Structure 1
Amino acid sequence: MANGFIDLFDKVPAIRLREPLAETLGAFRDGGTVLDYSFTDAVKMAGHACPTVSAAFLVCRLALEKLYGDTVPVRGEIGVTVYGEPGEGVYGVMAQVMSFITGAAPATGFKGLGTRFKRKDLLIFKPEKIDPEAMCFEFRRLDTGRAVLVRYYPGRVPFPEDKARQLGHLMQPVIWEAATEEERKQFHKLWMEKVEDMLLHNREIDDWLKIEIKEAIK
């Protein structure tokens, strides 16, 4: 890739959205422009690629597909509820990816123009635990009230035990720059193999990612 990232990222289907705020303020050459948010964009935002960023991107894509069907989702018209605390585990990291893609922002977000385009408080955290095993996220359309609940079970994502052990063994030397070049390459290979399994092969995805329709609230 010309931007320096590995080829894998180009193979991940992008998430297409409309952005009415940018259109209203003249950012596009033509009206009706649709934006592609790629996995590479999410990696740039997060500063790295990992199973957590991969899961957040995948959760967004599948939730929006379920909510909008064949129509293009509208950025800034989606509310996101994270059933966890910002500093708990990786909820905050996943929420950042979801905010970046959907436009839903926490208290620091854009307050809007008049009564339109408000992004502030469209992403909220709730300590409530819906499922003790899963990380849960709700995506709701502001125009129809239709919502989906996504349950992500990180402990169920399949990865061979021997490779998981190798990753664990290599992690510290790589982090502390004590690994050999061969060890570093092996770590990169294994790390990205798990990312690829999640994003492209969706291996056993029905076991670790579940989506259900919720009752519409308007």
Structure 2
Amino acid sequence: MSDLQQIARSTAPIVLHDELAAFLGFTPLLSYTLEDAGKFAGHLCPTVATAFEMARRALRELWAGQAPERGHIKVDVASQPDAFANGPLAQVIGFVTGAAGVTGFKGIAGRFNRQNLLHFDATLTPFGSVTFTRTDTGAAVRISALGERIPGEPDMAPNMRAALSGDAEALRRFQAAWARRVKFVVEHPEQILDVQILNPTGSRS
């Protein structure tokens, strides 16, 4: 097992209640792991790990002491969908929370809707932040990821270039450095996530 796989499997999962899954007889509780997020994205990187931890923190703030309700979260990303890695970041957040764009599930008889719960808006600030809003209460939290706080790996870029040219030892060093950056995100999310409670009571007024 690789270092990255070990990190993914040792990271605590995010458990949510999903009323659609329960209604259709699948399961009332869904558990999402960092490994699941990596499979969904097709890779595991600091951005995927950051998205996972952003979702975890937002759900904890919005449903303190309760199981979060998947599909009852609106996600607004302060960015264009193709800017930097904000598109992939949003995809992972949507995977966990159930929030989807125009391709999302439209629901059944006015319930269980997932469509149009994920939006990109470059006019929002600060750029790159993600606002999570409960659709039932209006409670909201905005989270910004401060990726510059992830410790740098000065040799990672040259090792990556050498690895792409077929250097097996450089590949090993690159992968070890990559894993260390991912590990920092999941072990110290409080150091890279800036959290702003926008509407703690859930009042829609």
TM-score by length of 1: 0.87
The alpha carbon displacement at 1:118 in A equals 0.8
1:179 and 1:165, CA in 2 relative to 1: closer, same or farther beyond 3 A? farther
53, 61, 83: which is aligned to 2:78?
A: 83
The alpha carbon displacement at 1:114 in A equals 1.4
For the residue of structure 2 that corresponds to 1:172, the secondary structure is helix
1:189 and 1:5, CA in 2 relative to 1: closer, same or farther beyond 3 A? closer
How do residues 147-162 of structure 1 correspond to structure 2 at under 5 angstroms? 147-155=140-148, 157-160=149-152
The alpha carbon displacement at 1:126 in A equals 0.5
Which residue is 2:97 aligned to? Answer: 102
The alpha carbon displacement at 1:143 in A equals 1.1
5+ long unaligned stretches in structure 2: none
Structure 1: which 4+ aligned runs deviate by more than 4 Å? none
Which residue is 2:129 aligned to? Answer: 136
User: 1:57 aligned to 2:57?
Assistant: no
5+ long unaligned stretches in structure 1: none
171, 195, 204: which is aligned to 2:160?
A: 171
Aligned residues: 202
The Cα RMSD (Å) is 1.9
Please give the alpha-carbon distance, in whole angstroms, between the structure 2 residues aligned to 1:7 and 1:152.
24
Please give the alpha-carbon distance, in whole angstroms, between the structure 1 residues aligned to 2:162 and 2:94.
33
The alpha carbon displacement at 1:5 in A equals 6.6
TM-score by length of 2: 0.92
Which residue is 1:72 aligned to? Answer: 67
- Answer whether contact 2:160 2:171 (CA < 8 A) is retained: no
User: 1:43 aligned to 2:35?
Assistant: no
Please give the alpha-carbon distance, in whole angstroms, between the structure 2 residues aligned to 1:67 and 1:57.
16
- Answer whether contact 2:4 2:179 (CA < 8 A) is retained: no
The alpha carbon displacement at 1:201 in A equals 3.7
The one-character-per-residue Cα deviations of 1:134-162 (angstroms, maximum 9, x if unpaired) are: x200001111110001111222x2314xx
Which residue is 1:196 aligned to? Answer: 183
Please give the alpha-carbon distance, in whole angstroms, between the structure 1 residues aligned to 2:38 and 2:97.
15
Please give the alpha-carbon distance, in whole angstroms, between the structure 2 residues aligned to 1:105 and 1:158.
29
For the residue of structure 1 that corresponds to 2:131, the secondary structure is strand
- Answer whether contact 2:73 2:133 (CA < 8 A) is retained: yes
Please give the alpha-carbon distance, in whole angstroms, between the structure 2 residues aligned to 1:104 and 1:71.
19
- Answer whether contact 1:52 1:94 (CA < 8 A) is retained: yes
The one-character-per-residue Cα deviations of 1:99-119 (angstroms, maximum 9, x if unpaired) are: 100000001111111110111
- Answer whether contact 1:170 1:179 (CA < 8 A) is retained: no
